[in-house]
Structure formats: C-alpha cells, structure tokens
A and B are shown apart, each in its own frame.
Chain A
C-alpha cells in the first residue's frame, strides 16, 4: 500500500511537470497528436499504480518520452507548414457563401446531426444565418454569420466608443497581485484611497477589479480563511 501511495505522489508530480512542459491548451483545443499524448499519459500513468510489480521506470520513461516528442513536434509544426499539415491536418470549409459543402461533409464524415450540434454550441440555431463555417483541426467549428445576423455593434449605429482594456484583477483574497497596479498605471497610494473611500481594508477584500479609472468592483470577504463567517 505504501508503495502505491508513494508512486501515486511521484506520478502526480511527474504528470503536472509534463503538462507544464507541454504548455497551456484547453482540452477542447488540442491538436490530434496532443490529444493522443494526453490520453496515453493518463493510461500509462495508472499502470505502475495498479500493479506494483511493474517498475516505476516503466511508467516514467514512456510518459516523459511522449512529452518530449510532443514538444519537438510542436516546435516542428511551428517551423514547417507542411509538417503541421501532416500532423494536424488543415481546417476545412464546410459552409461557404451560405451554401453547405456536402462533399466536405462526406470527407470529414460529418453527419447532419454533428453539424447542427456544432452550430448550436456556437449559439447558431438557424443554418441559413451562417455565411462561413470552418471545421478546425481540433474538431471545433468556427462560424462567421451573415451580416444581417451579426450582433449590432456601436460602429453600426455610428456610435463612437473609445478602445479600452478590460478591467484587471488587482486584489485576490486580500493580496495585491504583482504587476497589476503597474499595468493600470496606478500605485499603492491610489489603491489605498479607493479602499478607504469604499470603507474596506485590504484584508477584507475578496477580489478587486478595476480598469484604472474610478470604476472598481470590490466584493468583501464573507468567510475568513478558517471558514467562519466574517463579522
């Protein structure tokens, strides 16, 4: 039992390291090769845990090998378009000029149900509103709506709105995030004055967002770190 326990800890740390080495990707945005590596990592990692007769190295070596190969392939994909096409394929246009490309659908083995489900995940419920739809190499579908179906923007009604960055998180659970104030062009004196005007101390702030102007959002903590209600 102790062996299994220790192996579980080691493999957990190794998997975390591997995921970090491979880089940040959402599960739904993995390329085929990355998807394969992720699935295989999880399967291989369980082998030395399930069977303590298997040396730990029999799990670690293939895991680390897959990760290294994945990193190399990612680098090669970045450098060579043909390599990228070989490993990841290329996006396919499935709706063009408002017309459904049935041949591409057949090539992709995309059924009507698959198409409609993919469109619905993009909040499209009427296929006639789609100008262009592309099936990405990750399997996700990207949709460009017809002009008449696109959401109205301030530009459409000749309303000028200045460009601005979104609000940033400045305080997280009572702690100031490094670089956040500098990013907004503010300093700690400004932060103190804002907190004072809101009648809170830094330790009472659950989170604070701001776009650098007077617009701030400051929910207070309800629970202290021990889980008890704050007074």
Chain B
C-alpha cells in the first residue's frame, strides 16, 4: 500500500510540475511579449523612451531565456538571443519594428509548441 501511495503522490506531483512548467512559461512569455509590445509602440510613435524600453527588454530577456531553456528544447532561443543583442544597433535603421515583431512571434510559437494540442500529442 505504501508503494501505491508513494506512486500516487509522485504522479500528482508530476502533473503539478508539468502543468506548473507550462504556466510558468506562459507567464514569462506573456511578460516578454508585453515588453516587446511596449517597444513596438515606442518605435511606432517615435517616442523618447525607446532606449528605456529596449533596456527593459534586454534585462527581461535574460530571465526569459533561463526559464525557456530550462523548460523547452527550442532551437529558436539562441537565434532570438542573438537578435535581442542587436536590437539597439537597429534603432536607426528601419528594421527594429520588424525584428520586434519577429521576436514576439517566435516567443509565442515556443509557448504554443508546449501546449498539448491533439496534433502535437499525436
């Protein structure tokens, strides 16, 4: 009986951990996309706080990268890390908005890959 109880507790823990990981990734992605959206707004409105927004993004990126790489196996993360480091240099060109959009899309895709849709399970 002890074995069954231990297995049951472990099973429930696994469910909690798996669901918890997805929730954590969701929360981190949501925050990252919110910051990216703020950056996009600043770019589109030619606002003075663009530098501040990009610094916030670069700062939060570290946390997102650590969380995402712990939870998923995604080849995009390294490319995204390289792109984040180049964002400031894109400020003067016209590519910044596009790059931010691309970052957001990739972050959302990484999260979407972890959601158990029937097509991803089967």
Chain A residues packing against B (C-beta within 8 Å): 21, 23, 53-55, 57-58, 61, 64-65, 67-69, 71-72, 75
Contacts and interface: CB of A to CB of B under 8 A. Distances in A.
A68 B14 contact: yes
Contacts of A75: 4
Contacts of A72: 4, 7-8, 11
25 contacts: A21-B3, A21-B6, A21-B10, A53-B73, A54-B73, A55-B69, A55-B71, A55-B72, A55-B73, A57-B21, A57-B70, A57-B71, A58-B73, A61-B17, A64-B14, A65-B11, A65-B14, A67-B10, A68-B11, A69-B11, A71-B3, A71-B6, A71-B7, A72-B4, A72-B8
User: Which of B7, B17, B70 has the most C-beta atoms of chain A within 10 angstroms of its own C-beta?
Assistant: B7
A72 B5 CA distance: 10
Contact of B10 (A53, A57, A58, A68): A68
Given A54-B73, A55-B70, A55-B71, A61 B7 contact: no
Contacts, number: 41
Interface of B: 3-4, 6-8, 10-11, 14, 17-18, 21, 69-73
Contact of A61 (B18, B70, B73): B18
A112 B8 CA distance: 45
The secondary-structure label for the interface of chain A is helix
Nearest to A78: B4
A182 B68 CA distance: 58
Contacts of B70: 55, 57
Nearest to B15: A65
User: Which of A54, A64, A68 has the most C-beta atoms of chain B within 10 angstroms of its own C-beta?
Assistant: A68
Contacts of B8: 68, 72
Contacts of B18: 61
Contacts of B21: 57
Contacts of B11: 65, 68-69, 72
Given A21-B3, A68-B11, 4 more contacts: A53-B73, A67-B10, A71-B4, A72-B8
A219 to B, nearest CB: 37
Contacts of A67: 7, 10
B3 A23 contact: yes
A101 to B, nearest CB: 38
A64 B10 CA distance: 8
Contacts of B3: 21, 23, 71
Nearest to B69: A55
